[in-house]
Structure 1
Amino acid sequence: MDTSIFINKVEASGIITIDLLDYKPEIEIITLDIKEHLFMGMIVKEKEFKESISEKDFSIYNGKAVAVICSEDAIIPPWAYMMLVEKLYLYAVYVDLNTPENILLDFWKKSLLKADLSQYKDQKVVVKARTNIDPALYLLVSLQLKPLVKSLMYGEAGMPKVIFKN
């Protein structure tokens, strides 16, 4: 009878895995397209713009982040954005003239920057490889971990790519 004991080499290596998905913010981001408030879908006329936004129910943005965009190639005067913010102020937790993807990335970066990574001090750390995560997040986490960790790796704990060893 074979009484061999299987050894988990990953566990024995002492490598700790960080999954950047754990730092992904939970906020819902909604797009507000200014195009729907333009005169004839392409021009900002003050009277028509004011009327259009006064008829809109901005409560749909309650507790959400708002990505303000203009899908039409139109010149939007700064005061138009200011009027939108005046309406969004009571509802939205965040408003930016940006795409939802970039707003999510900004929130994700802030989440990583606020994270307490001191638990990784003097540890062997692998940052989990994921194709759906922006490379900017890998850059940021590397900057944060460089002064802390004994070694930094990328990939999976079983077959990591070594980035550096201290």
Structure 2
Amino acid sequence: MNQNIFINKAEASGIIPFDLLDYKPTIEIVEFDLKDHLFMGMILKEKEFKESLSSIDFSVYTGKAVAVICSTEAIIPPWAYMLLMDKLSGYSVYTDIRSSEEILLDLWKKELQNVEPEQYKDLKIVVKARSETSPALYLLITQLMKPFVKSLMYGEVGLPKVILKN
């Protein structure tokens, strides 16, 4: 009797997949455009700016990350950012003067910093290839894993690209 036994070589290799998407933050990131609170969208007049901020229901930012931007070339004095932060504090969980994409990357990096690379000591790890993942995350995960892993690879378990071997 002829038995065909198939062996999953990828599974037998002992390579463990590591997916950066598992660490992608789920927090909603919204933009707050200062332009909407400036005179003619360009000039910050203190009284009007304060009145405009006072009319906002900041509770809509509860539990969200806020990307503070100004989509015009207006000059914004530092005290205006302080005033805005005073209004947002207690509502937003993260606020910065950066784009939504930059904030997402910052938060994603913070999530990766929580990885305990010691759990991968002497293991073969392949970091999954993802087009929607920033190269900055691949830099960070390599830095975190290098001292611990037996080998670090990129791609898919069945056909990885070896990056380093310890």
Is TM (by shorter chain) over 0.5? yes
Aligned to 1:23: 23
- Output one character per residue of 1:145-166: Cα deviation in whole Å (capped at 9) or x when no partner: 1000011100001010011111
Distance 2:66 2:76 in 1: 17
Aligned to 1:62: 62
* Deviation, structure 1 residue 125: 0.7
TM-score, L = length of structure 1: 0.97
Distance 1:123 1:90 in 2: 43
Aligned to 1:135: 135
Give the partner amino acid of 2:142.
Answer: S
Aligned to 1:4: 4
Instruction: Write the mapping of 1:120-159 to structure 2, written as runs, cut at 5 A.
Output: 120-159=120-159
Distance 2:76 2:22 in 1: 38
Distance 2:138 2:121 in 1: 18
> CA RMSD for the aligned pairs?
0.8
- Output one character per residue of 1:27-48: Cα deviation in whole Å (capped at 9) or x when no partner: 1111000000001111000011
- Output one character per residue of 1:8-66: Cα deviation in whole Å (capped at 9) or x when no partner: 00011110010000111111111000000001111000011001110111111011110
Distance 2:116 2:5 in 1: 37
TM-score, L = length of structure 2: 0.97
Aligned to 1:100: 100
SS of 2:32's equivalent in the other structure is: strand
Dislocated runs of 4+, deviation >6 Å: none
% identical aligned pairs: 67
Task: Verify: 1:163 aligned to 2:149, yes or no.
Answer: no
Instruction: Write the mapping of 1:66-81 to structure 2, written as runs, cut at 5 A.
Output: 66-81=66-81
* Deviation, structure 1 residue 2: 3.1
SS of 2:11's equivalent in the other structure is: helix
